Amino acid sequence: MSLLVVGSLALDIIETPFATLEQALGGSATFISLAASYFNPTKLGVVGVVGDDFPERAWDLFRDRAIDTSGIEIVPGGKTFSWHGRYHYDMNTRDTIATNLNVFADFKPRVPKHFKSPDFLVLGNIQPDLQREVIEQLEKRPRLIVLDTMNFWITGFRDSLEQTLKLSNALIVNDSEARLLIEHPSLIVAGRRLQEMLADDEQRIVIIKKGEHGALLFYNEHIFSAPAFPLEEIFDPTGAGDTFMGGFIGYLARRGAVSYEDAKRAVIYGTVLASYCCAKFSTEGIEDLSMEQLLERSQALRALCSFELEEGELLETLR
Amino acid sequence: MSLLVVGSLALDIIETPFATLEQALGGSATFISLAASYFNPTKLGVVGVVGDDFPERAWDLFRDRAIDTSGIEIVPGGKTFSWHGRYHYDMNTRDTIATNLNVFADFKPRVPKHFKSPDFLVLGNIQPDLQREVIEQLEKRPRLIVLDTMNFWITGFRDSLEQTLKLSNALIVNDSEARLLIEHPSLIVAGRRLQEMLADDEQRIVIIKKGEHGALLFYNEHIFSAPAFPLEEIFDPTGAGDTFMGGFIGYLARRGAVSYEDAKRAVIYGTVLASYCCAKFSTEGIEDLSMEQLLERSQALRALCSFELEEGELLETLR
């Protein structure tokens, strides 16, 4: 089935304790579409904006991975959006040194004619009004609309965000964003209440990403707890959350179905892709993975959390 | 098989945002032995110290749950150890208002004659010199020695703690303690390095407890990621870690074996008991659980993290 990704395209400056990379290919739409491309949806397109400094190697990469870039507006003489971040020693926390919106400041998403009926839609982390403008341009309601957001929109654009949530079927946020949205210490309560903020459709899906602690999937009345892949070293976590989202929606778009079992597997594939994203700078970790690499880590995740109960024995044992 | 538990017995003052309880039955040995008692080991004994203010209801509870208290020294005219803690609104953080050692200040553990050859030994969170003194009193090496510790001993008694670790087969700590001991941001690296600090025996087991995020079990070369039980409300988390430890060792002691599969199940039962511990004040949540309650939550944990891969499909799908 077809998948449309809307979000940022960026040339970032990434500082980690180990190295610094300038002109690092980044942005939510970049990571989401690259990750989703592994599942080979019928059609995979990106809507976003860049300056004419957006490098040839990025266009090549999109072409190689069969990502339709006709929805990416190129502003002549403009500069591409740029985030400058610095990671702390523990790689779990980071500071934003600068955010240069550049051409992104005046971004008005325009969905190309041949992408106005996508089966699946991902709205990366952009202003919630813009997210709704994308939905309004569509000619039919997608099978699933998946949303990301961030602290800046949660605190400053709450009403608009709630309107966008009411039009969406799935929300993917990290734990601090979930707590900020719901103001309750329990992530279980937060997940449940976030589900209620979504459209009253067949599925109400909330995923709370917890970094090294894995992710919680709330699917209608079900809860699935996915482990993180056990990494000894994190090289650059930039884009890991978007990569997770891309793997999640990419699998569902290929599958063309969104049962609870599908959604659990989608979380696992998202986790696997995110683990590869963290192992190299920028998009380098997810540019050229093999089928075997994805299968191997999926199986490793399964082994990591599987166990057998011996209920008969327990019944005899307990007092 | 027989199980000996060494640790504190306490009458605590617990303040939560919801209520305050004084003279709350507590202490590591209390929670560990109560939790372990559900698995009905051949013999289950406690070594510790109390004042003559230790209440009749506590002795009754130990008797009801077939816990041998002959190793608990009663100091005439003495006051039982007391911790006064106050939980924050989010229940994840707490302040220590006061720690009154009382009779615990001069505690010298004395293992009763009939407990000098336990099959399994748990050393709750006490001074590491005392932990070693217990081991030295034994007449044969237990099948497994399981250790707990805390920040205070890690920073102030590092050498002694390392000596005790070298005599032990298993360490159970929380994530902040693991990071403090190893000084590496990755819990995976921390777990691996902690294993190397243990005795070079058949098993080297490290468990890192992560509260609402579950637990990581490092068993020789294996890693198992256990989810937390999804609780909407935490009433009083005091003793949850000790309860986890008691469930873990109780199951192994009953089983009489310590394979990787046994250890995984033991982590699950520890998680289940800890979840019940958090639901009520003090020991109230684990005083009288039914077999059905333990089975129900074990099965729920299994459902929470189980998924099926469709590898054939994936192989065809991926590009």
On average, the pLDDT of chain B sits at 95
d(C-alpha B4, C-alpha A123), whole Å? 57
The pLDDT-based confidence of B15 (bands split at 50, 70, 90) is very high
Q: Which residues contact A173 (CB under 8 A, 6 or more apart)?
A: A148, A149, A181, A194, A206, A207, A208, A209
Cα pseudo-dihedral B299, B297, B221, A227, rounded to 10: 90
Q: How far is B112 from chain A (nearest CA, A)?
A: 25
Predicted local confidence at residue A315, as pLDDT: 66
The answer as to whether A188 is a domain residue is yes
What ipTM was assigned to the predicted interfaces of this complex?
Answer: 0.93
Looking at the predicted structure, is the pLDDT value of residue B317 above 70?
A: no
Could you give the percent of chain A with pLDDT greater than 90?
A: 89
| Pairwise CB contact (< 8 Å): A210 & B214 | no
| Closest-approach residue (CA) in chain B for A247 | B318
Q: Could you tell me if residue A137 is inside a domain?
A: yes
Nearest residue of B to residue A64, measured between CA atoms: B319
- Distance between A3 CA and the closest CA of chain B, angstroms: 15
Contact in structure between B245 and B33 (CB atoms under 8 Å)? no
pLDDT at B52: 95
Sign of CA dihedral B159, B160, B161, B164: positive
CATH number of B301's domain: 3.40.1190.20
Q: For residue A298, what pLDDT is reported?
A: 95
Query: Would A201 be classed as within a structural domain?
Result: yes
**A318 in a structural domain:** no
Angstroms from B161 CA to nearest CA on chain A: 25
SS3 at position B317: helix
Q: Are the beta carbons of B261 and A308 separated by less than 8 Å?
A: yes
Nearest Cβ partner of A295 from B228, B261, B311? B311
**Mean local confidence (pLDDT), A302-309:** 95
Asked if B318 and A40 come within 8 Å (Cβ–Cβ), the reply is yes
Average pLDDT over residues B136-164: 96
Cβ pair A232:B298 closer than 8 A: no
Q: Do B224 and A304 touch (CB under 8 A)?
A: yes
Q: Which residue has the tokens 């003793």?
A: B239
pLDDT(B38) > 60: yes
Better-scored residue on pLDDT, B18 or A33? A33
Structure token pair of residue A189: 């309560």
Instruction: Give the residue numbers spanning the domain of B147.
Output: 2-317
Q: How far is CA A34 from CA B170, B194, B270, in A?
A: 43, 38, 41
Q: Is residue A313 part of a domain?
A: no
Helix (H, G, I), strand (E, B) or coil at B237: coil
> Whole-prediction pTM value?
0.95
Reported confidence tier of residue A317, pLDDT bands at 50, 70, 90:
low
- Residue to substitute from B233, B273, B299, B307, interface A, most A β-carbons within 10 A: B307
Q: Does residue A319 lie within any of the structural domains? A: no
Task: Give me the number of domains chain B comprises.
Answer: 1
Question: Token pair of A51, please?
Answer: 């300056």
Predicted pLDDT at B160: 97
pLDDT recorded at residue B299: 95
Question: Does the pLDDT at position B311 exceed 80?
Answer: no
Q: Please check the confidence at residue A319 and state whether its pLDDT lies above 60.
A: no
